[in-house]
A = this chain, B = another copy of it.
Amino acid sequence: MTLLDQRVLPLSESYRQYHDAPGVADAIRQMVVRGAPAIGITAAYGVVLAARQHFANTSKTWRESLAADIKLLAQSRPTAVNLFWALERMQRVLNENTDTSVLDALLHEALAIHDEDIAANFSMGEYGAGLISGQGSVLTHCNTGSLATGGYGTALGVIRSAYRQEKITEVFADETRPWLQGARLTAWELVKDKIPVRLLAEGAAASLMRSERPGWVIVGADRIAANGDVANKIGTYSLAVLARQHGVNFMVVAPTSTVDMSIASGEDIPIEYRDEQELLQLGGNRIAAEGAHAWNPVFDVTPAGLIDAIVTERGVILQPDNDRLLKHFSE
């Protein structure tokens, strides 16, 4: 499997080859690939790689070796539920196919996960753009575009669709510390699409809302609880509080594979804390004084009450809560 190394974009477009599940798990952990849907798709292909490898090497015990690899993939990152959702789909195919056709079935399932994600993004693009009236700027956070998904994007997909419909004049993008996904990835995608983009420091978002009056904050999600609470890139919760304070609408865009109905509220979503070096270093050099430490949660939880709309490939959930999410899934 070939992955574009997102850690070095846009300075270099470097592709890396992966031949087994431990390598793929490491690529996810090290953020060669990131973005909830993209992680799920990558893990699915990782299962295909692992199944082929173990089947060829140890055709008797290959299912046991594969089970260990699936466990390894599941341990790569904790917050985005798309990872577990994709692995469960692959596991189901594994369980249902007991003859040698299983390898083909696994590849078919991984491709389906990938294709369905792209289709979901186009649907969400339309639904989300439909929520935007008039013309104005929007603010987004992190990267939710082609790089974070199977293609097109979740929040960035809505932005692409709404820009084509001439509802968006300009995109403001948080640079998104500490990994700078906004500066490195979102700006890169938008420039390629010739959509005007201005970056800002997260600390400037409140001033932006006051002076530039964006119509919407549009973000993705890594996991949505049954009550509509949303875990997403650190900084999202802050934007939601500020948006409410400034009368700016707040839209979350995520496929249903991001919704975890087994989790009652955001409080139970596991939040990943990453190495403090992500804040203490800059470009490989120590930037903070020796002896200083860092607090580095990389996701936060936005309460449903601060969200005006959740957009999935099935449609729009306005003022999300438990009942509305249940209804969304039963329709």
Contact = CB atoms under 8 A, between A and B. Distances in A.
A325 to B, nearest CB: 23
A177 B203 contact: yes
A178 interface: yes
A130 interface: no
Contact of A207 (B11, B184, B297): B297
A241 B208 CA distance: 14
Contacts of A301: 207
Interface string A183-198: 1100110111000111
Given A183-B280, A280-B183, A292 B199 contact: yes
Contacts of A290: 191
Contacts of A202: 177, 201-203, 235, 238
Nearest to A238: B206
Contacts of A233: 203
Contacts of A294: 198-200
Given A208-B295, A282-B282, A187 B237 contact: no
Interface stretch (A34-42, A146-154, A168-176, A254-262): A168-176
Nearest to A278: B201
Most buried by B among A200, A233, A286: A200
Interface in A280-311: 280, 282-283, 285-297, 300-301
A262 B203 CA distance: 28
Interface string A265-279: 000000000000001
Interface of A: 10-11, 141, 172, 174-178, 180, 183-184, 187-188, 190-192, 196-208, 210, 212, 233-238, 241-242, 245, 279-280, 282-283, 285-297, 300-301
